[in-house]
Structure 1
Amino acid sequence: MCNFTAIENGTYQAYTLVFGSVMTLGLPLNAVSLWILLNHHSLKSPSAVFMVNLAISDLLLIISMPVRVYFYATGTWPLGEMACIFFTMLFRNNIRSSSIFITFICVDRLLAVVYPLRSRHLRTSSNAWKAVAFVWLFVVAVNIPESVTFSRFLMKNFAEPSCFEFGDCKNLSPMQYLQPVLVLIMLAVNVVCTTLVSWTLRSHLSDSAKVSNKVNVMLIFVMNLVMFIVFFLPVSVAILFESWRHAFTSLACLASVNCCLDPLLYYFSFDGFWRKKEDGDTSLAIE
């Protein structure tokens, strides 16, 4: 069972402002990015496949924003228990799916830079789509036990206007440990990939790819690390520490900002992001 404290109107107004700004900026940025990825870049590239699904994940997050803005602006929830669970799952799914897709992009860039020839049989669109399908199935499967837990909680507490206030819980269910563990593992993979790519670019190894724009390549990895450290990690581990749980909603608010920064990842990942890809183009930034 969770104990909720009254939140000052100023805090609710701040949440309203942040979620409203994320919705206003994130919707056009991700919609335009998705349109460009689908129309200007071949989905035969594994990076493009992962980025398309990352944009879809961000758009699903943005779908949950209008009701969050309404909730924090009015302090009321008029849509019922099932809608509360649905929009809560959309929000949590973004952190999980985004962290995995960003890690896939990071690993794909690692293989492209460090093992460009030996990894060609792995870096195919077919394998990318299989990985994407597995991720979405995993995310939906996790929703089932979580939804049951939330439903039980709401049956006891739904009279209170606390639809999105699940952070201050004294009793943790086993499923709540999944997200911190997942994010920490993905962060570790990103750190290893960043280290290996940085070392490779400095070493000029004979079997590594010739990278024309090393700054853009490293920016991709740095941005990935920033996403994890600033947006994904704090909200994921906060639930594990009782002293942090009072700040859970604030950290969730911060985490939502990640969907406005992902379009920068697309821009730096592709040379000529706005230019339509030619069939014969084998640039490292695309492949």
Structure 2
Amino acid sequence: MCNFTLSGNGTERKNLAYASVYGSVMAVGFPLNAVALLVLLRRHNLKSPSVIFMVNLAVSDLLLVITLPLRVYFYATGTWPLSNAACTSVTMLFRDNIRSSSFFITLISVDRLLAVVYPLRSRSLRTFSNAWKAAGAVWLCVLVMNIPEIISFTSFLNSYPQSSCFEFDCPPESVLRYAQPVLIFTMLAVNIVCTALVSLTLSRHLNDSARVNNKVNAMLIFVMNLIMFTVFFLPVSLGILIQTWRPYLTPLICLACVNCCLDPLLYYFSFDGFWRKKDDVNSSLGRE
């Protein structure tokens, strides 16, 4: 059990601010993602790859949200009341959200790229089966990345039992330090390429309304995906990678969790047919 006490007036003010942010994210993120998941499951039959990726993205965000009460408690009271195993689980779920979200957001971008740029040739690739295989591969990759981190984190907590649950960082020489930044940089590059190709395609077919029903929404989803990476995922990844950014890592982590409140905007405003019933969506998907 960690009983690390946060002290000092400046530190107390900062941690009350962190508790407020996490509490606000929890209050906003849970209902938004729960409603999004409910609508996706009840009004869509998971035939579209985009819907499948969005369902998994909503699940990832909900897994993050359920850990936030413990972070609120820690930063509000300055103590960690649970076991080291609970601390490890909370930390891994938090890190997994950034990783799984980056994967699923990228898969959404790639799926939209195929639908817009290669609508006919991609039909055999954009299938129910392939989408679920990709989602399964994402979760498997995330779990594999967890294994060495769990071992290292557990060793850290056992060696420094009075340390803060959220104080752990990989040693500078550890390869674990580079795993998340490399992932985020790679996924960001893929999103940039997808955005550029779709933008170029839409500009060439500006008057072809049959090719893309809603060009504004088609580009909006790519813009929002880039914002997710540059505002929420990239700063915390740089904070992990660059040692001089270490003093700013806690607020960057706090900022990163806000992504789960904005992910539902991808469903509400960017997914054509989000509020429509299954039959209406299936009809529109058949025209893609």
TM interval, shorter chain, is: over 0.9
Show the counterpart of 1:164: 166
Cα distance in 1 for partners of 2:208, 2:275 equals 31
Fraction of identical pairs, as percent: 65
Normalising by structure 2, report the TM-score.
0.92
Deviation digits for residues 71-99 of structure 1, max 9, x if unmatched?
00001001011100000000000000000
Cα distance in 2 for partners of 1:112, 1:62 equals 32
Cα distance in 2 for partners of 1:285, 1:269 equals 18
Displacement of 1:55 in angstroms is: 0.2
Cα distance in 2 for partners of 1:26, 1:79 equals 24
Q: Is the 8 A contact 2:44 2:281 kept in 1?
A: no
Show the counterpart of 1:56: 59
Show the counterpart of 1:8: 11
Distance 1:9 1:172, change over 3 A: farther
Cα distance in 2 for partners of 1:221, 1:280 equals 21
After TM superposition, what 4+ stretches of structure 1 lie above 4 angstroms from structure 2?
205-209, 284-287
Matched pairs, number: 282
Cα distance in 2 for partners of 1:191, 1:203 equals 19
Displacement of 1:159 in angstroms is: 1.3
SS at match of 1:164: coil
Aligned pairs (5 A) from 1:259-270 = 259-270=260-271
1:103 to 2:106 alignment: yes
Show the counterpart of 2:3: none
Match of 2:92, as an amino acid? M
Normalising by structure 1, report the TM-score.
0.93
Aligned pairs (5 A) from 1:113-124 = 113-124=116-127
1:203 to 2:207 alignment: no
Name the one with the larger helix percent: 2
Show the counterpart of 1:137: 140
Show the counterpart of 2:225: 224
Match of 1:212, as an amino acid? N
Match of 2:235, as an amino acid? P
Match among 146, 150, 154 for residue 151 of structure 1: 154
SS at match of 2:82: coil
Match of 2:68, as an amino acid? M
Displacement of 1:155 in angstroms is: 1.2
Deviation digits for residues 221-253 of structure 1, max 9, x if unmatched?
000000000000110121111110111110010
Q: Is the 8 A contact 1:270 1:286 kept in 2?
A: no
Displacement of 1:158 in angstroms is: 2.0
Q: Which runs of 5+ in 1 are unaligned?
A: none
Show the counterpart of 1:75: 78
Match among 42, 47, 66 for residue 44 of structure 1: 47
Q: Is the 8 A contact 1:50 1:128 kept in 2?
A: yes
Q: Is the 8 A contact 1:271 1:286 kept in 2?
A: no
Deviation digits for residues 138-186 of structure 1, max 9, x if unmatched?
11111111000001111122213x101225x653421221100000000
Match of 2:148, as an amino acid? P
Q: Which runs of 5+ in 2 are unaligned?
A: 1-5
Cα distance in 2 for partners of 1:62, 1:226 equals 20
Cα distance in 1 for partners of 2:79, 2:106 equals 37
Q: Report the more deviating stretch, 209-218 or 126-135.
A: 209-218
Match of 1:124, as an amino acid? T
Pairwise CA RMSD of aligned residues? 2.2
Aligned pairs (5 A) from 1:240-251 = 240-251=241-252
Cα distance in 1 for partners of 2:208, 2:127 equals 20
Q: Is the 8 A contact 1:113 1:209 kept in 2?
A: no
Cα distance in 2 for partners of 1:263, 1:225 equals 15
Cα distance in 1 for partners of 2:201, 2:109 equals 15
Distance 1:55 1:156, change over 3 A: same
SS at match of 2:243: coil
